[in-house]
Amino acid sequence: VFAHLVQAPEDPILGVTVAYNKDPSPIKLNLGVGAYRTEEGKPLVLNVVRKAEQQLINDRSRIKEYLPIVGLVEFNKLSAKLILGDDSPAIRENRVTTVECLSGTGSLRVGGEFLAKHYHQKTIYITQPTWGNHPKIFTLAGLTVKTYRYYDPSTRGLNFQGLLEDLGAAPPGSIVLLHACAHNPTGVDPTIQQWEQIRKLMRSKGLMPFFDSAYQGFASGSLDTDAKPIRMFVADGGECLVAQSYAKNMGLYGERVGALSIVCKSADVAGKVESQLKLVIRPMYSSPPIHGASIVAVILRDKNLFHEWTLELKAMADRIISMRKQLFEALRARGTPGDWTHIIKQIGMFTFTGLNPAQVSFMTKEYHIYMTSDGRISMAGLSSKTVPHLADAIHAVVTK
Ligand code: PMP
């Protein structure tokens, strides 16, 4: 009965790794997937995560019963504090409801379905370009997806005027997806002053902010700095949604641990929102997994482990920043034509190189370097040893 099916294409991002794995070349380099690698090119399990797991194993009172539909309650409380701040008035006033979800993706999907069911506007505006999964997640959640201008290829920076015009022209009440920090795929973030203008415009038009926070701590190295745009929106007393992921900042990728918070105007409304979120989650996957959220809770509740985490997080962020500098210098040393300052200006895990699909394909064929066809490279996949190889490839392709 399934014989009529056509072969579906690989996911454009995960497919890069599939192609990489098939390449027998010893010099191959995978800059496609957004996962942190050490200077030796190895995946990293944080020390604090190992310690937290050891604590969990030693605790014989732990059981494997189902979590409630909303997940691990302590994890939810700690996650809301981490993103909104210890002193958040919204938390103090019990106006925030937080549910544990399956990493960032699951949080976006649950939030999307909740909005499709209960919010009066069904259109969500996403940045042009954005993470490839965004349009699919929100379309399947039942929302209509439209884009707003964000990136200016000519400056390799923010098209702030275009952004303001497009959000200004959006129908009142529309939902707007905002990357909290380290925009994927461009690495281009608004300044704090620009965030303030975006906030004012959105609030004046009643646009609903939906923050995607997949890189808290990864952009600047500081958890508080990277959460600032979200806290500015929460501080004005208005509503917003926040999807959090612990994939990158705690290296918990495959544990699939994240949270959706909805900031409401009163405790009464937050309670009703939570009751409706449960009706979205129960038929979708019943309740979330226990292990990843338990690891996060152990780390967030313990002052020493928390501090240790911030140091390990900062070390990851610093290594990425150092890769930016090294790649920029390597291109300069080769006299590669073009302005490459965006490599050091862009923020977070990715650099949007400006290389086109034909150039990417040349680099894959001739240099065994793998990346998405839009020219996005994961800086976390680079090391001091591989920077020269990448710089040679970029130099070759732009002087070809
Ligand atoms: N949003 C953005 C912008 C991302 O880059 C990612 C990860 N690539 C996610 C959300 C979700 O990731 P996860 O589901 O692994 O937490």
Give the pLDDT band of residue 12 (cuts 50, 70, 90).
confident
Place of tokens 């006033």: 93
Q: How far is the CA of 234 from the centre of ligand 1 (A)?
A: 22
CB burial string 159-181: b at 16+ within 10 A, e below: bbeebbebbeebeeebbbbbbbb
Picking from 112, 307, 324, the residue whose alpha carbon sits closest to that of residue 212 is 112
The Cα 150–Cα 169 span in angstroms is 14
- Angle at CA of residue 153, ends 183 and 166, nearest 5°: 70
Cβ–Cβ under 8 Å, residues 177 and 210: yes
- Residue among 211, 249, 236 nearest 349 (CA): 249
User: Residue 358, Cβ neighbours under 10 Å: how many?
Assistant: 11
Whether 376 contacts 352, CB under 8 Å: yes
Task: Give distance in angstroms: CA of 112 to centre of ligand 1.
Answer: 15
Q: Which two tokens stand for residue 278?
A: 């449960």
Q: Which atom of ligand 1 is nearest to the CA of 105?
A: 14
Q: How many of the other CB atoms lie within 10 Å of CB of 335?
A: 8
Per-residue 3-state assignment (H helix, E strand, C coil) for 165-187: HHHHHCCCCCEEEEECCCCCCCC
| Nearest protein CA to atom 7 of ligand 1, as residue | 214
- State the average pLDDT over residues 282-311: 98
At 77, list the tokens: 């409380």
Instruction: State pLDDT tens for residues 40-62.
Output: 999 999 999 999 999 999 999 99
Per-residue pLDDT tens over the stretch 113-164: 999 999 999 999 999 999 999 999 999 999 999 999 999 999 999 999 999 9
Q: Going from the N-terminus, what domains does the chain have, and what CATH number goes with each?
A: 14-44+318-398 (3.90.1150.10), 66-301 (3.40.640.10)
What would the mean pLDDT of 180-203 be, rounded to a whole number? 97
Task: Report the nearest atom of ligand 1 relative to the CA of 134.
Answer: 1
pLDDT confidence of 188, banded at 50, 70, 90? very high
Helical (H) or strand (E) element with 297: helix 291-301
Say which residues have a Cβ less than 8 Å from residue 314's Cβ, sequence separation at least 6.
217, 221, 222
What pTM value is reported for the model? 0.96
Q: What is the SS3 assignment for 265?
A: coil
Q: What is the SS3 assignment for 198-257?
A: HHHHHHHCCCEEEEEECCCCCCCCCHHHHHHHHHHHHHCCCCEEEEEECCCCCCCHHHCE
If you take atom 5 of ligand 1, which residue's CA is the nearest one?
184
Phi/psi at 6 (5° precision): -95, 155
Question: What percentage of the chain exceeds 70 in pLDDT?
Answer: 100
Q: Say what the ipTM of the complex is.
A: 0.99
Q: Which of 105, 211, 216, 372 to mutate to test the pocket of ligand 1 (most atoms within 8 A of CB)?
A: 105
Pocket perturbation via mutation, ligand 1, pick of 131, 181, 372 by most ligand atoms within 8 A of CB: 131
CA 85, CA 78: separation in Å to the nearest integer? 10
Q: Which two tokens stand for residue 262?
A: 């909805």
The residues annotated as belonging to the active site are 131, 212, 248
Mean pLDDT over residues 88-94, rounded? 97
Binding pocket residue ranges, ligand 1, CB within 6 Å: 34, 103-105, 131, 179, 184, 212, 214, 245, 247, 258
- Measured in Å, residue 151 CA sits from the centre of ligand 1 at 19
Model confidence at 15, in pLDDT bands (50, 70, 90)? confident
* Choice from 79, 177, 212, 260 to test ligand 1 binding pocket (greatest atom count within 8 A of CB): 212
